[in-house]
Structure 1
Amino acid sequence: MTGPAAGRPPVLLAVAHGTRSAAGQAQIRDLVDRVACRRPDLDVRLAYVDVQQPRVGEAIRGLDAVVVPLLLSAGYHVRVDIAEAVAANNAVAAAPLGPDPVLTESLRRRIQGADAVVLAAAGSSDPAWRADIAAVAARLDAHVAYATGAELRVPDVVARLREQGARRITIAAYLLAEGLFYRSLHAAGADEVTPPLCADPAVVDLVLTRYHDLTMAPSGL
């Protein structure tokens, strides 16, 4: 990464997946706005790896930036899309937001009183991604399920738990914002679905911690 221009700290370039959901788009923008309000001394910008514009490769061009992936695991988008954009622009990338104890605790606070918990993630064939999901589920004593794919579908896991006698089932949504996957969870047969993770104020702190880990600048936390 190049040195900060005129003593200014590097740009915090938050990079989200992207969604066609208007509600999800608004939630991610609000998260980034809250980060910017917490650190008014920083130039905080938003880019995407899919669906929406600007894409990370375009947004990072010419910037002295720290990329903070608004993603919940080090899957393909982190290892390929973001890594390639960073390498081409002499920038640096922080670790993704997840898995992290902050997110686990956010979910734990919302699953109290459940007989059974289903950790619902978007789904991926990426082995590193699946290992991250399994680790989060283990910490929550939850059953893993996916919103996409042919195995461990959320409705099937909920139905199995119901057959086994669970009376109150909570779906712990391991999703940052609303979208098609999140909406599908409300039709999966559980008693409760936790809000998207970006609703938790602690996620703002986590974004800034990721940035601070690479810059050693005061984070205001």
Structure 2
Amino acid sequence: MWDETTLNLLIQGVGESLYMTLVSTFFAYIIGLPLGILLVTSAKEGIRPRPWLFKTLDVIVNLTRSIPFLILLVAIIPFTRLVTGTMIGPTATIVPLTLSAAPFVARLVESSIKEVDVGVIEAAQSMGASNMQIIWKVMLPEAKPSLIVGCAIATTTILGYSAMAGFTGGGGLGTIATNFGFYRYQYDVMLVTVVLLVLIVQVLQGILMKLAGLSNKK
């Protein structure tokens, strides 16, 4: 049962899970970071209040966050096939992972930036800093430790989503757990995949939390 083929399959599964998680996290932040910044700056107490923009983005984020990942995964299959040319495998799974995680990331970014001391922002405004300067030189640097902690949360959440995609042939450890544990009743293999997922979570979270601690100037 535990032959070289199974071991190679587990190694490949770890690689695919990391690939899906890291790439999806990157693209989720490409979308979610500016979205989170807009939520903060356009709010009533933001540096550039735009009630209509805030309400629109707030509704969009709330609606997209409320869609369960597995439902989203199936619902956007035509879009996934259009983007990647396939509907199964690690690369295809990145599309729904990104779309599912982006609004979650936006909320994490919004929460982190809101923790920045208002006095620091007001001081920058009194010195004549533009809105873009306040965002890039005050808000984001001051919120860096919290943003990195949020990234740790987002990364481990996305890893969990990637495992769920195993039920639809998404690849990675989730697919191995499904194929061996669910369909073949090889629960020892499934248990190993669970242990590997836990280890990956611990390593990723440990690295990011260490970075958060190093970036904390307080």
Q: Please give the TM-score of this superposition, normalised by the length of structure 2.
A: 0.31
More strand by proportion, 1 or 2? 1
* Structure of higher CA gyration radius: 2
Q: Which has the higher helix share?
A: 2
Higher relative contact order (CA 8 A, sep 6+): 2
